[in-house]
Structure 1
Amino acid sequence: MTVLDLAAAGAVGVPEVGGKAASLARLLRAGFAVPHGFVIPAGVYRQAAVALGLDRPSAGRPEEARRRLLAIDLPAAVIEGVGRAVDDLLEGAGSEYVAVRSSAVGEDGAGASAGAAGGMAVLVQRFVDAEVSGVMFTGDPTVIEGSWGVGELLVSGRVAPDSWRTDDSGILARRAGRKITRSDRRDGRLVTGPVAAAEQAAWCLADSRVQSLHVVGRKVSSVLGGARDIEWVLADGTT
């Protein structure tokens, strides 16, 4: 098992696909607008770690373990499986780009990869050229944050987003951000540039969109069984 379709990943379980991929698989099967993708399960990592003698907990040197892992050749079956999966994923997608994301098996994926063979799954999804990106924390109240372009600047804390607090009655409070830069895909790479003055002064989401995101957040929380941190994008007029 070298590659799993994302829709099937939830049935395999967190120990193989990680928490992020398992949750997205559940949402995809429930009908949410999740970009399609595939997962390289953590077993691929564990096999490599065992072969290098990195399968036992150690207080040793994580950078050395990382260097040794990066230096090995991937098995031909993994290369072939990933190649086929990428071809299938991009067929009819209208874009040749993908997003590659980690999906940790444990809370501390980085720590696990440095010592024992708990490992890390890899999630590959269709890349979405976002008009607006953001995060949503579905507590009580819900907090929604957003900014222009692809979300790399927001999640890294390099841009101050617009923010809203919502509950089932509507928008409770709002705070304008300082949206002076944005990232967008240009010629196969993410390029950071200035935001036009008119967009700096404008809210990145209309109130109706904020309220619809709140409803989506509530539904996600219901499916996954509790409050969640959610990454979202607005592209082609759809979140």
Structure 2
Amino acid sequence: MTALNSYVLWFKQIDKEDGALVGGKGANLGEMTGAGFPVPEGFVVTASAYRAHIEENSLGNKIKALLAGLDVEDPLALNRASSAVQAVIEKAPIPKEVESEIFAAYDKLGKDPWVAVRSSATAEDLPEASFAGQQETYLNIKGDSSLLLHVRKAWASLFEPRAIYYRVQKGFDHLKVYLAVPVQRMVQSDVSGIMFTMNPVNNDKKTVVIEAIWGLGENIVQGAVTPDHYEVDKVEQKITLVRRVDQKIEMVKRGEKTFDTKVPRSRVTKRKLSDKQVLEVAKLGKKLQEHYFFPQDITSFKLAPSQLSRLPKSKLIRLPPKPRTAGKS
């Protein structure tokens, strides 16, 4: 368990017991790093840093006033209140001590490296709360000033309309929910994918499901590209299904720009993963499940030319009721 007054912690300093300080995503990144899984290097700007930002800029009362009497069932009012609170948080200066620790950690990653700035919400007294997917992620961030800007934006995303609505519906105090910010070195991938260590369609616990596309992972997360589909028997470590899909567009990064481009003709009809790679990814998934004791939904993995990297988070998935139809949402 890590000291609660730390503003910045490296993944290697964090484990699964640190959720109150670094949120679920941050705790998982630290836990996997400590367990030896291939997680790209990074650090977490902790919930203590967020609290310092709110307290030293006296933002608590301003946020309360902006949200007072808000009818979250009124979309226009909800969006107005959200924008107002986010503007207050983004415009406030980051406390000097917090800023210094962020700069020092970023410098240790190298000379202005490209990083992802993520959000990891936490509430010390609300273990039953789930804040996944309510806050923002920013990719391909570079430079001190841009990093600070996006840390503030991540903090402000704690007051996205959907996040405000959720807390009101659950009866949670807005000022007792905090935000940690994982900052992680970007991996420029040839292949990106997702993996389920249990079949999400029929709840088959023996099957690992892997889906993969060419290029960066945003297109698979957004559903913009139909992925290849692979299934592996995790007991026999044997591939049981391969469904290849032609891919004509991929997302790439060139310099400071990320954009969609045509897949080279030589790769359009090619499988994204070889049998060896499929089994390697499945083996990693099995190890993750064994480590956490629950099925895992790996929301992003990336294959660089010579490396398998696990990005950006792992979340436990509950076994849902068996679906009436065999469709996949």
Structure 2 CA distance, aligned partners of 1:12 and 1:192?
40
Question: Where in structure 1 are there 5+ consecutive unaligned residues?
Answer: none
> Is residue 199 of structure 2 the alignment partner of residue 153 of structure 1?
no
Deviation, 1:9, is 2.1
- The two structures have a TM-score, normalised by structure 1, of 0.90
SS of the aligned residue for 2:119 comes to strand
* Letter aligned with residue 259 of structure 2: V
> Is residue 78 of structure 2 the alignment partner of residue 78 of structure 1?
no
1:197-212 to 2 correspondences below 5 Å: 197-212=265-280
SS of the aligned residue for 1:13 comes to helix
- Aligned residue for 2:188? 129
- Aligned residue for 2:158? 113
- Aligned residue for 1:173? 241
Contact 2:232 2:279 in 1 (8 A): yes
RMSD of the alignment, in Å? 2.3
Structure number with the bigger relative contact order (C-alpha 8 A, sep ≥ 6) is 1
State which structure, 1 or 2, has the greater radius of gyration over its C-alpha atoms.
2
Contact 1:183 1:190 in 2 (8 A): yes
2:301 paired residue among 224, 232, 238: 232
Deviation, 1:59, is 6.4
Larger displacement relative to structure 2 (170-179 or 200-209): 170-179
Contact 1:2 1:81 in 2 (8 A): yes
> Is residue 82 of structure 2 the alignment partner of residue 62 of structure 1?
yes
Structure 2 CA distance, aligned partners of 1:190 and 1:103?
24
Structure 2 CA distance, aligned partners of 1:196 and 1:130?
16
2:116 paired residue among 88, 99, 103: 99
- The two structures have a TM-score, normalised by structure 2, of 0.66
SS of the aligned residue for 2:307 comes to coil
The number of aligned residues is 236
| Moved beyond 3 Å, runs of 4+ | 47-50, 54-60, 109-112
CA shift in 2, pair 1:45/1:197, >3 Å: same
Structure 2 CA distance, aligned partners of 1:67 and 1:97?
26
Q: Could you list the per-position Cα deviations for residues 41-75 of structure 1 after superposition, in whole angstroms to 9, with x for gaps in the alignment?
A: 12222333452123798663323211211111111
Contact 2:244 2:271 in 1 (8 A): yes
